[in-house]
Amino acid sequence: MIELKTPAEIEAMRPAGAFVAEVLTALKEHAAIGVTLLELDKLAHEMIRERGATSCYIDYHPSFGASPFGHVLCTSVNDAVLHGLPNGYALRDGDLLSVDFAVSVDGWVADSALSVVVGTPRAADLRVIQATEKALDVAIEAAVVGNRLGDISAAIGEVARSYGYPVNTQFGGHGVGRDMHGDPHVPNAGRPGRGLPLRPGLVIALEPWFMTGTDEIYTDPDGWTLRSHDGSRGAHSEHTIAITEGGPVVLTARSV
């Protein structure tokens, strides 16, 4: 069921969005050669505790997960493209790291993700990160009253095609509110003018994620981490936004 938020409820979601942005900014600064994925998870966990927030991930156990997730971050490296389960892997020079983070603050959820290169970047990695960030920007621009859900999906897919990347539509954006995942599903490709009319009060997480060489994925033996089928690298960008009469509001915006 799709739930529309009142202006007061959207305001009540701002603290969660601001905290998610704060944590992702700290993680981006902390990610360096030699730092392990578990160390990043520990830092986020400590910030959650200090803030009195609640992780959306620790007990999360959807049908596609082998067990409850057990950590507070998704940390996906190189050909791991989504749902990366933190482990003892130490980041190396040139690694492409995507971090996805969602928490509840005062009963409201915010969800966001970013991708960074650790150490010396490859041009191809910077390009796929740029593509996801550009796709996120145009998706947000399309998230206005009077448009339809398909306009958002089509905008994301058009960016992917312009970069020459295929699009996987198994996982995409979603509704956000009291829970992390709700209706509607927002695929990263679609047809303009189709689907749900966008109305004030709709709060959704938009999350373009692209792989450079394939649209096929498989699940790691850890039961969670999703990898590209051909070993190509991927990137992931995400914001939680609210659709309002005055235009889209990015609840998880990070300071530049």
**Neighbouring C-beta atoms of residue 39, cutoff 10 Å:** 17
Q: Can you tell me the distance from the alpha carbon of 226 to that of 229, in angstroms, rounded to the nearest whole number?
A: 9
- Output the CA torsion sign for 2, 184, 175, 7: negative
What residue numbers does the annotated binding site cover?
83, 100, 111, 174, 181, 207, 238
Would you call the peptide bond into 184 cis, given omega within 30 degrees of 0 as the criterion?
A: yes
Q: Which DSSP letter does residue 148 get?
A: B
What residue numbers does the annotated binding site for a divalent metal cation cover?
100, 111, 174, 207, 238
Measuring CA to CA, how many Å separate 174 from each of 89, 160, 203? 30, 19, 9
What residue numbers does the annotated binding site for substrate cover?
83, 181
Picking from 93, 100, 83, 155, the residue whose alpha carbon sits closest to that of residue 122 is: 93
